[in-house]
Amino acid sequence: MHKATAATTALALPMGLVLAAAPAQADVPTGDTTALHAQIQPLNEHGAGGTSTVELRGTRVTVQVHATGLAPGLPHAQHLHIGGKGTCPPGLDSDENGDGFVSTTEGMPFYGPGAVSLTTEGDTGSKHKLALERMAVADEDGKLEYQRTFEVDEDIAERIGDGEAVLVQRGIDTEGDREYDFNGAGRSDLDQAVPAEATHPASCGSFTAAPESGMDTGLGGTASTPTAALVGLGAALVTVAGAVAVAGRQLLRART
């Protein structure tokens, strides 16, 4: 009798193992992941360029930026713009006032107003577009690496997913003195108290859907939900299957 009870208890244990080993669904974001990719091109005849990816799941956004050719040692305000043509300005042809630079305002018909400020910490709203103290800084070689995950409003998330977003990187050092001042390009069209060098676009890239095959490298199309959770559950079931087999043999011996 004691053997049968022990074996029955052992047989009941695997269900507890399933519950314990299965990943908690609350920790796994739900919904499909939309992946977008942008090739960053120079603006204002400064040789900046690179690539950027956006992964969108619901209202959660992960942005990665890999850029080169930026002004070394200086912060570069980066923004996702939405609401224009979804494209970048065609170079100096967009210089309406003839000062030799494409300003943020002159480029706005193409990429639209700023919707997301790619800060390194804190708020990412459009009101923080000039928070240079929280923007990514290019290294001594002009390289900039950025990655951050954050939440956005539903409307912004929908428009990013529809491919309307454009990345604009700001900051040009016209004199090569490793600082933003008023000598090279005057005052910013966004804020007269800020040098235009700090807000003039250095580069731009419009986002398009990444190819499905790119998912293996983090660049691809749309992925179904929680693969990590399914893998974890599969591993748990394999473990439980072994436990069931052992418990079953114990129960048979107890009954005989």
Three-class SS string for the chain? CHHHHHHHHHHHHHHHHHHHHCCCHHHCCCCCEEEEEEEEEECCCCCCEEEEEEEEECCEEEEEEEEECCCCCCECCEEEECCCCCCCCCHHHHCCCCCCCCCHHHHHHHHCCEEEECCCCCCCCHHHCCCHHHCCECCCCCCEEEEEEEECCHHHHHHHHCCCCEEEEECCCCCCCCCCCHHHHCECCCCCCCEHHHHCEEEEEECEECCHHHHHHCCCCEECCCHHHHHHHHHHHHHHHHHHHHHHHHHHHHHC
Judge whether residue 196 has pLDDT over 90: yes
pLDDT above 70: percentage of residues in the chain: 70
Judge whether residue 246 has pLDDT over 50: no
Mean pLDDT of the chain: 80
On whether the CB atoms of residues 146 and 70 are closer than 8 A, the answer is no
Q: Which pLDDT tens digit goes with each residue over 198-225?
A: 999 999 999 999 876 544 334 333 333 3
Q: What is the pLDDT of residue 110?
A: 98
Mean pLDDT over residues 127-137, rounded? 96
Mean pLDDT over residues 159-187, rounded? 96
Q: What is the pLDDT of residue 159?
A: 97
CATH 2.60.40.200 fits 33-223, yes or no: yes
On whether the CB atoms of residues 62 and 149 are closer than 8 A, the answer is yes
Cα dist from 209 to 41, 65, 70, 158, 221, whole Å:
18, 16, 26, 14, 6
List residues bridging with 209 in a β-sheet. 36
Q: What is the pLDDT of residue 30?
A: 53
Q: What is the pLDDT of residue 210?
A: 83
Mean pLDDT over residues 191-195, rounded? 96
Closest CA relative to residue 70, chosen from 152, 143, 162: 143
Judge whether residue 13 has pLDDT over 60: no
Judge whether residue 4 has pLDDT over 90: no
- The model's confidence at residue 7, banded by pLDDT at 50, 70 and 90, is very low
Q: What is the pLDDT of residue 214?
A: 46
The winner for highest mean pLDDT among 87-96, 143-152, 246-255 is 143-152
Question: Against a cut of 0.85, is the pTM above it?
Answer: no
Q: What is the pLDDT of residue 31?
A: 65
Q: What is the pLDDT of residue 211?
A: 73
Q: What is the pLDDT of residue 202?
A: 97
**Both structure tokens of 228:** 């990590």
Q: What is the pLDDT of residue 38?
A: 98
Which distant-in-sequence residues (6+ apart) come within 8 Å of 87 by Cβ? 110, 111, 166, 206
Of the given ranges (98-107, 142-151, 214-223), which has the lowest mean pLDDT? 214-223
Q: What is the pLDDT of residue 224?
A: 34
